[in-house]
C-alpha cells in the first residue's frame, strides 16, 4: 500500500467520522432540546387552557390577559414548528453535502488510478 493510498484511506475515515459526529450528535442534540422546549410549552398551554375555562366569567381585564397569553402561546408554538422544519432542512443539507463529498472522493480516486495506469 503506497503513501497516497494510505492518505486516501485516512481521508475517508476522517470524512466518515465527521459525518457520524455531525449526523448523530449535533442534530440529535438540537432535536432533544427542541422536543424538551415543545413539551414544556405544551404543558404550559394546557395550564393556560385550564385557567381560561374559569376566567370566561371574569372581568374584562382577565379576559384580555387570557387572550394575550393564548396569542403569545400560539406564536411560540409556531416558532417551535419553524425550528423543527429548519432543523430538518439543515439535516438534509448536511446529508446531501456528505453524499457529494463521497462522490467527489470516489471520482478523484478513480481519476488518480487512471493516471497511474497510463
Per-residue pLDDT 10s for the chain (118 aa) are 678 888 888 888 888 887 777 666 767 777 788 888 888 888 888 888 787 777 767 788 888 888 888 888 889 888 888 888 888 888 788 788 878 888 888 888 777 777 666 6
Rg of the chain over all Cα atoms, to the nearest angstrom: 26
Distance CA 75, CA 6 (A): 54
Q: What is the pLDDT of residue 48?
A: 81
Q: What is the pLDDT of residue 62?
A: 83
Residue 69 φ/ψ, nearest 5 degrees: -65, -45
Instruction: Report the candidate in 30, 37, 36, 12 with the shortest Cα–Cα distance to residue 91.
Output: 30
Amino acid at each position: 500500500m503506497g503513501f497516497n493510498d494510505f492518505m486516501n484511506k485516512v481521508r475517508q475515515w476522517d470524512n466518515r467520522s465527521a459525518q457520524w459526529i455531525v449526523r448523530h450528535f449535533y442534530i440529535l442534540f438540537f432535536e432533544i432540546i427542541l422536543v424538551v422546549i415543545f413539551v414544556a410549552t405544551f404543558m404550559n398551554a394546557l395550564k393556560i387552557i385550564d385557567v381560561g375555562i374559569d376566567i370566561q366569567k371574569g372581568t374584562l381585564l382577565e379576559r384580555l390577559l387570557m387572550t394575550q397569553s393564548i396569542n403569545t402561546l400560539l406564536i411560540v408554538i409556531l416558532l417551535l414548528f419553524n425550528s423543527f422544519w429548519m432543523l430538518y432542512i439543515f439535516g438534509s443539507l448536511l446529508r446531501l453535502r456528505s453524499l457529494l463529498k463521497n462522490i467527489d472522493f470516489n471520482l478523484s480516486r478513480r481519476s488518480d488510478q487512471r493516471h497511474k495506469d497510463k
